[in-house]
Amino acid sequence: MINSILGITLLLVPFGSRFTAQKVFSIPSEVRISGEKGWTDWSYFTVGPDGARVAFIDPKRQEVRSYSLNGGTSSVMAEHTDVSSYAWGPTKHHPETLYVTETVNDIARKGQRPDEVNVPIAVKYDRSGKLFVSDLSNRRVSVFSPEGTFESSFLLPQTVGAPSDIRATNDGNYLLSNLFLDNSRGINAGYHCNFFSPTGKLLKSFAYTPKVAFDRNLWLGVYSLFDLDKQGNIYVAFTVEPVIYVYNSAGELMMTFGETPEWWVPPPKLEASRFRIRSEPNGFHGSWTRVIKLVYAGNGRLIRCAETNGLVEGCSKPFILDVYSTDGKLIAGSIESDCFPVGVDNDNMIYFLSVTGDRLLKTSLIEPEEK
């Protein structure tokens, strides 16, 4: 499909010409995370490293559930329960209880037991099969074993937000995508990637809010996306610009790449005061082709996915994909798709979820022929 934008010729490549579907799984409605186009949250779904199971957030029930792709069975890993009638403290009966505050006589609020959640916003499997859960209202990160049982958790400091993505690093620490606020600036400013110890100690922050956010006065809509390769290198992108930042395992910037693609529509400039908290402008998130996923696909390949938001002329699909090598070479660009990447298994099979949440595609990347 050829499209002309402002005199520039843009070649839109169909999904099937770059990714081969090895298997398609139907996701039944009772375990589907979305039944409406455009409603699926990009961080609500994750694929296990064995490719045999997925975990997802049911936002209506506020539950974290697992689902067997082979057996078709589902189970609740963490639920949301109102336990406010119980006095809860670090006693011999409940030594494992976690607190938002440190007062011994606190009354537990919703979802504060270890196997509970209150407004979960992200789930992610690591390579060993452990599941990480970001709990927004309880301000904590919880870890579940590959068998689905609670293992540990830690509370987040007040200076950082709940993460929208989580990874285990090669040295046993955790990398979280959550804003570490810079109180010297008035908008969504700060470091977006943070290393934490398994006990919740903040070790290092990096990946500062990009310049475009300040130029356009974006006090909202600025989120980071990242993935790691097996060597521990970290690839970071932001929703507001088509740039990929490459950091080493210590969080030190090594390089950036990604020429502005022809399909890119930048976010609008917001004129409202940056020193006041304001509601989202009507239609704001649909006003640019924002980046929503960055996935390391194995074999030195990165997939960047953005929402088209109907702004790419001639493209009828909701997503557009670019495939890069980790050294910055564009391998395949402007791939139109009706699904978005949600993970890679240990065999480097790439999984895509349909926008309606009813299909999961297990795919492999078609490498271009050498010229």
What are 286-297's pLDDT values in tens digits? 999 999 999 999
pLDDT, tens digit (0-9, with 9 covering 90-100), for 38-73: 445 789 999 999 999 999 988 878 889 999 999 888
pLDDT > 90 fraction of the chain, expressed in percent and rounded: 60
**Which residue segments constitute the domains of the chain, with CATH numbers given?**
1-40+182-190+209-366 (no CATH), 44-163 (2.120.10.30)
pLDDT in tens, 144-194: 999 999 999 999 998 888 999 999 999 999 999 999 988 766 667 899 999
User: What's the confidence (pLDDT) of residue 278?
Assistant: 59
Q: Measuring CA to CA, how many Å separate 246 from each of 142, 143, 253, 256, 272?
A: 27, 27, 6, 6, 33
39 alpha carbon, distance to own chain's centre: 15
Would you tell me how many other CB atoms lie within 10 Å of the CB of residue 310? 11
Q: Rounded CA gap, 19 and 77, in Å?
A: 32
- Going by pLDDT thresholds of 50, 70 and 90, the confidence category of residue 10 is low
The whole-number pLDDT of residue 90 equals: 39
- Whole-number percent of the chain with pLDDT over 70: 82
Note the pLDDT of residue 4. 38
Q: What integer is the mean pLDDT of 102-121?
A: 63
Chain mean pLDDT for the chain: 84
State the pLDDT confidence band at 37, using cuts at 50, 70 and 90.
very low
Is 283 buried (19+), middle (13-18) or exposed (0-12) by CB count in 10 A?
exposed
- Cα gap 169→126, rounded to integer Å: 9
Task: Please state, in angstroms and rounded to a whole number, the distance separating the CA atoms of residues 64 and 76.
Answer: 6
**pTM of the entire predicted model:** 0.88
- State the distance between the two ends of the chain, measured CA to CA, in whole angstroms: 23
Sequence-ordered list of residues with C-beta below 8 angstroms from that of 266, at least 6 positions apart, any chain: 212, 216, 240, 241, 288
Q: Measure the CA–CA gap between 335 and 304, rounded to whole angstroms.
A: 10
